[in-house]
Amino acid sequence: MTENNSIGKIFREQLRDRKRIVVKIGSSSLQHPETGDLDYTKMDVLVRELCDMRNRGKDVVLVTSGAIALGKKAVRVEEVKHPGHGHMALKQACAAVGQARLMMTYQKLFAEYNQVAAQILMTKNTIVDNLNRYNAHNTFSELFKLGVIPIVNENDTVATYEIEFGDNDSLSAIVAALIEADLLILLSDIDGLYTDDPRKNQQAEFIEIVEELSDELMEMGKSSTGSSVGTGGMNTKLIAAKIATSSNIDMVIANSKDIKVLHRILDGQNIGTLFVGNKKNYFDLPEFVANMHSD
């Protein structure tokens, strides 16, 4: 499963030619671990990298987390210890506050680089409903024509268990499939895919390229866990890889410790784990989303 130098180099070089790119960054990558407050330095680097992609002539979408956590900090509330109706209402109220604050921060940063950004909030119904999906696709298309960078998040203000995506790894892959992207980059708190959890097993081997997602690989992800801040472990990233590659979209998992890996990936450098897009089987996006279960 490790990368053959010549074949792997060819696949990596092809990333230079990708024209429509979705970048996903998680909550833990945007916050200071000591306080939970936004890391403005990392956000600034992220925005600069995205604007530079746009200047290369790429269509760019950012899928970002952080609204609920930011809202909780703003109104100074803690988690409700016993989830129920009150828990959902509090979560949605915090999201309403946090979404506005998060977008305001992004707008200011993008304006520094003379770039216009737009907010798109989605639920599963956006994809499952034919008219909603058609309208969403058209909105993205028009934004690209206008040179705008869409910023996507789950609409946590209205989403309930039944219409939640549940994690932004899956959401980013679904967005990539919806807009017919050709590259998805997941920025995470891990370097990529390993044969086992490297935080628990020092013998775990790094996997540089995956040309076909096997059942063995999918099972491998189910035993992994993510950070305490985010909602996605390696399992959600492999599900995202399944959605992306089945839609003929290349996907890279890379470490968000250095946001500048984004332009290096587009330069064809050997960074992270590359999942090669390979549309062998028919993939019905609305049906897949309708059958998704939030954990």
Domain ranges of the chain: 5-290
pLDDT of residue 273: 95
pLDDT in tens, 85-121: 567 888 889 889 999 999 999 999 999 999 999 999 9
Task: Name the band, by pLDDT with cuts 50, 70 and 90, for residue 226.
Answer: very low
Q: What's the pTM?
A: 0.90
How many whole angstroms separate alpha carbon 182 and alpha carbon 152?
17
| Highest averaged pLDDT of the listed ranges 187-191, 196-200, 222-226, 269-273 | 269-273
CATH of domain 5-290: 3.40.1160.10
How many whole angstroms separate alpha carbon 163 and alpha carbon 174?
14
Nearest to 268 by CA among 255, 250, 280, 286: 250
For the chain, where are the alpha helices, taking DSSP H only? 5-14, 27-30, 40-55, 67-75, 85-112, 124-128, 130-145, 168-178, 215-222, 234-246, 261-266, 285-290
